Copies of this chain bind each other. A is one copy, B any other.
Amino acid sequence: MAQLGMHTWNELCSQPQAWSDALSVLHQRFAELRQHKALTHASHIIWSGCGSPYYLAVAMSRLQQQRSDIPVTVLPASEIWNNPAASIPRTGTPTLVLLSRSGSTTEVLKAAAQFRTCSPHGCIITVSCYADRPLAQLGDINIVLPSGQEQSIAQTRAFSVLHVGALAVLWALIGSDLHELDGIPAVGAAVIAKYQQHCVAIGANPAYDQFFFLGSGYRYGLACEDSLKMKEMSLTVSEPFHHMEFRHGPQSMVNPKTLVVGVGSRLTNPQEEAVLKDMRTLGGHTLSIGPNESSDMQWDATLPEECNGLIALPLLQSIAYSRATSRGLDPDNPHNLNAVVVL
């Protein structure tokens, strides 16, 4: 029998190289991005996608709030085409950023069409992985990152490559130097080398039966993605929350079979550690990942703060992968799912 989830495992492990390849493309496109009216004249930016790329949009919208004064909205693509009046600003020159692995997802294509109808002076930026798919023709700027292509149904490499692409869009918007991101692949590779086996052991530990993923700030969007990976690959009960929100109700679910995973930030580390400590007091287990010395899985805080959730992704994907295979499930063939939702 072939190894369970071989495609997923290979794609998962190849991410640092894929990020490096994406950065090469992005350096070539960066001057164009910075000078395009889609960013220089945007009165409002809407981040959107479906599924995993929607969670990336959630993350990026928060990063934009952190770094820019331009009003920001984040919505699943379905909300845009189902209810454009509630989604697309009626005034100004809004820019819609559409994120998609396949570039073929019906709802993303419908959102693009709806935006064109409702906002004739607005712009669209697309970030996807296949040059020959419809979405890559629909934007005023189309960023294509082929190193994110993958065989798997559950996104791993595609999601993180789209993340690198979205960061470049943000870096262009705020006028920062894209070379600030050049260290991502090396840090990512080092962190995988150091901690992936530990993550495989955590995933295979039958003592856990429910997982919560906590992330403050932009990391909340990534916590949503981490949680989705646990569902898709391993059919495990999992849910994301903002760190501090977890005390306001959801902690009712904590018991000795719970693992609460916190993806930390330097800015808010003491508060995040306090939440995890409280969950241990309630009988749960915790795992902290991030650029803080107190984290269980830690790396040097040399990258921009906005990259640390990205660095954590392969580790958390490895937990989901390992939990799936240890339960005899095939991460390459998730229950009930297809690679692209076509309506």
A interface residue numbers (CB < 8 A to B): 44, 50-52, 54, 62, 65-67, 69, 71-73, 76, 78-79, 82-83, 85-87, 89-91, 107, 154, 210, 216-217, 228, 231-232, 235, 237, 239, 242-245, 247-254, 267-268, 271, 282, 334-337, 341
Contacts and interface: CB of A to CB of B under 8 A. Distances in A.
A183 to B, nearest CB: 23
25 contacts: A50-B248, A51-B249, A54-B245, A65-B87, A66-B85, A69-B89, A69-B90, A76-B245, A78-B216, A78-B244, A78-B245, A82-B216, A82-B268, A83-B267, A228-B249, A231-B250, A232-B249, A232-B252, A237-B237, A239-B239, A252-B336, A252-B337, A253-B335, A253-B336, A254-B336
B335 A244 contact: no
A248 B71 CA distance: 27
B65 A271 contact: no
A244 to B, nearest CB: 3
A232 B243 CA distance: 17
A231 B69 CA distance: 37
A243 B107 CA distance: 13
Contacts of A237: 210, 237
Nearest to A70: B71
B235 A252 contact: yes
A244 B335 CA distance: 18
A260 B51 CA distance: 18
A341 B231 contact: no
B244 A52 contact: no
A245 to B, nearest CB: 5
A119 to B, nearest CB: 13
B65 A73 contact: yes
Contacts of A252: 231-232, 235, 334-337
Given A65-B87, A86-B66, A91-B69, A341 B79 contact: no
Given A83-B216, A107-B244, 19 more contacts: A44-B71, A50-B244, A50-B245, A66-B85, A67-B86, A69-B90, A76-B242, A78-B242, A79-B242, A82-B217, A228-B250, A231-B250, A237-B237, A239-B239, A249-B337, A251-B336, A252-B335, A252-B337, A254-B336
A71 B69 contact: no
Given A83-B268, A231-B250, A249-B51, A244 B90 contact: no
A335 B255 CA distance: 10
A86 B217 contact: yes
Contacts of A217: 79, 82-83, 86
